[in-house]
Structure 1
Amino acid sequence: MKNLICKVGLLCVVLLGIIDTGFAQSFSVQRVGNGKQAIILIPGFACSGEVWEQTVDSLQNNYSCYILTMPGFAGIPPEKNPSFDSWAKQIIGFIQKENIKNPILIGHSMGGGLALYIASSQPNLVKGIVVVDALPCLAALYNPDFQSKKIAPEEFNEFESQMRKIDEEQFYRQAYISATSLTSDSLRYDNLVKWSLSSDRTTYAHMYYEYSNIDLRPIIPSISVSTLVLLEYPFKKIAPMIEQQFGNLPNIRLEYANKGLHFIMFDDWEWYIQQIMDFLNDRP
């Protein structure tokens, strides 16, 4: 997002204060645009807010965009005890502290999970959410009997220890292989790998292990705001399973991309941005 730094209306801050929820707010925030409607963009696992660059370019003339990068990811300093719950509460606290009225949340992957969680727990805080290729429970696709469990600290420690044993060359290879499975746009591989390599290994291990165990299906019925879910093309083959996870609720609309993989904003750009624009235009 280097080119955004030179654009009028950019406010780039890293906020490290104590917020109303009692959690230290340690994610980074960039603000672009000065529109009346605020949009908060939350990237996915080990990703920089730069993942939203093209999206923000399309939105900044009419909206105020707050672009997050979560602590410990893509070069942002890590926090001591990262967790999905604390990150959600930090975002809620940020919205409250900055007095951002009725924002729309756009989240990709883990960021989409955070958007779902926030909308379910704070129904009057946000105006709507857009979930980009995130499911309430990815693990349930592979194990229909999956149940979330409480993770003991020693489990996290063991997984982190295993992650730390991976040398940089092997980690690079794994990150590159992962990138090729997540986007069909080969020009994006280098950035995805760079963000992974510049992420804190402890945060990487902890959040990967925790998010793999999260099941948001029980909270989906609590989401009352308008919700648009944009899903990668391969998910269309298992649409009934996907729809079941979202509860077939009337306020949650599911749409499937025409091509590409997990990074829909890269792989099916025109379809993706049109879906978002239509959603925003329906909420003046």
Structure 2
Amino acid sequence: MITFPCCKINLGLNVVERRSDGYHNIETVFYPIPLCDALEIKLMSNDFPSDVDCDLKITGNAVEGNEQDNLVVKAYNLIKKDFAIPRIHTHLFKQIPSQAGLGGGSSDAAFMIRLLDERFRLNMGIAEMERYASMIGADCPFFITSEPSFATGIGNIFSPAGFLSEKLSGCYIAIVKINVSVSTSAAYKKIVPHHPAKSCKDVIAQPIETWRNNLYNDFEIPAFEEFPALEQIKNKLYEQGAIYAQMSGSGSAMFGIFKEKPQNLATEFPSAFLYSCQC
């Protein structure tokens, strides 16, 4: 059985306060994008010699670290603690860039939970799957339903923002990722938490043309200081006709929203992903 974990972009990202536990409360909007990985599971024979219950093969984009430390395996082990599920072979084809602010790892884990629930008829329900996903990462529960959402807390409290699908209908979203990695923990150390003049939840309800001067990602300033090429990409997206451009999450993927299909995008950014929004 196979599924296709999607990614997300952040529309605005404000770090509003530092918590007593060392984490930060944020405000942001998650919007799902069909730039997807592929995740497949197959039953493992009882005779197959394996020291692990979920063996994982990763192809496509390279992923750092031991495969048994991957969030996909973590999701499997989490479910196996409470359900009698068999050993499996897992194949993850990575297309979503890592360390990009697109939530690829969290999405893979959430879709693994969904896949196990469907394949082995666990009948968990959305709320239960979201509970398991929350044990893996703050944004992981978002990918259980992958619906536009306003996120608060540490990025783990969600409220619907379904009107965005209609607002962006007919637009094009381009995602550009260069070979730059931004450390999230290091980025947080450079930010002074503050409440914005206007919440991103309110800004996204305005016409998209107003977002450029009202919808901000607090991580852009330190990221642009360290990697000027990211700011150059943002400027080029505007030059290409974007009505709004921003860095996603803590970076380093940049995206632009276009009212018309950009004509010279492939020339400027050969590896860019272009998504047509349809309502």
Shared fold by TM > 0.5? no
TM-score normalised over the length of structure 2: 0.28
Which structure has the higher relative contact order (CA within 8 Å, separation 6+)? 2
TM-score normalised over the length of structure 1: 0.28
Larger radius of gyration: 2
